[in-house]
Each structure stands twice: as C-alpha cells, then as structure tokens.
C-alpha cells in the first residue's frame, strides 16, 4: 500500500511539473536577430530576478517578442541546488525596420511638461473617451 501511494505521488509530481513559459509580443514585425540567454541567473526560487536583457542597445529598432521559460534542464539545476540557484531561459527577438507608430496622429494626446495631477487625469480621461468612441487606441505621451 505504501509503495502504491509513493508511485501515485511521484506520478502526480511529474505530471504537475510542466515547463513554465511566458511570451510577450509587442506587435512589431520580427527580424532574424535573436538574443538568447539559456541560463539567466535567478536566485532563491526566482525571488531575485535575472539581470535585464539590454534590448534597447542590442535591438535598435525595438523588440518584437520576449520569451521566458524554465526548461527541463533549468528545473534539474534548480532541484540540485535546492532552489538557491533557479536559472531560466530568456529569448528576445528584435524588431525589423524603423519604429513607427500605428496610431493615427489624430488619436494622440500630449501631457504638457510640468502638468499638475489634475491635468494628467483630464488628458487620460479624454484619451479614454476617444478610445471608446472610435474603438481605436489613443496614444498619450509626455511633452519633451
């Protein structure tokens, strides 16, 4: 009976320990340039995150896709170190071409430099109203 219980626990543990993965797409077209870190160092079960991937310097046209995952090998290393070292795999795909806004210039609002909190709320309120009326995104940015 004890062996059966251990086998069931082992099978349940293995079936529930899938590979964790996240994918974020920015909407920009992807290029062939990929930055990959197969063992980005996390510590203490991921409480201390890995260093930031410098996508801004390595991808002059922006980032198209960011993927993070814990592969099987990452889990093995995590188990061997009892969770002290928890590596993860990070893959950044650079964008192709120049950055261009897909937002209609009429759908852009500017927050003036030195705006009060009330002025900022008013700009975002107008942006929300425009987005609801037009069904299109509204870009809000700070005045340089």
Q: Examine residue 11 and state whether it is found in any structural domain, yes or no.
A: no
Q: Examine residue 89 and state whether it is found in any structural domain, yes or no.
A: yes
Quick one: 111 and 137 in the same domain?
Answer: yes
Q: Examine residue 9 and state whether it is found in any structural domain, yes or no.
A: no
pLDDT, tens digit, 9 for 90 and up, residues 95-121: 887 555 555 666 788 888 888 888 888
pLDDT band at 53 (very low <50, low <70, confident <90, very high): confident
Quick one: 91 and 109 in the same domain?
Answer: no
Domain, as residue range, for 39: 17-95
Q: Please tell me the predicted confidence (pLDDT) of residue 30.
A: 82
pTM of the model: 0.52
Report the domain count for the chain: 2
Opening angle at CA 36, ends 92 and 17, nearest 5:
95
Q: Examine residue 2 and state whether it is found in any structural domain, yes or no.
A: no
* DSSP result, 40-81: E--BTTTTBPPPPP-HHHH-TT-EEEEEEE--HHHHHHHHHT
Place of tokens 């928890």: 86
Q: Examine residue 5 and state whether it is found in any structural domain, yes or no.
A: no
């Amino acid at each position: 009976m004890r062996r059966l219980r251990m086998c069931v626990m082992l099978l349940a543990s293995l079936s529930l320990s899938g590979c964790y993965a996240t994918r974020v797409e920015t909407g920009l077209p992807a290029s062939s340039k990929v930055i990959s870190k197969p063992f980005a160092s996390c510590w203490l079960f991921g409480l201390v995150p890995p260093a930031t991937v410098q996508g801004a310097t390595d991808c002059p046209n922006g980032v198209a896709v960011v993927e993070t995952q814990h592969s099987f090998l990452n889990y093995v290393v995590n188990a061997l170190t009892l969770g002290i070292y928890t590596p993860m795999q990070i893959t950044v795909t650079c964008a192709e071409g120049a950055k261009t806004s897909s937002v209609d210039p009429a759908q852009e609002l500017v927050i003036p430099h030195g705006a009060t909190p009330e002025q900022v709320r008013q700009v975002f309120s107008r942006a929300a109203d425009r987005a609801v009326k037009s069904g299109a995104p509204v870009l809000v940015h700070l005045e340089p």
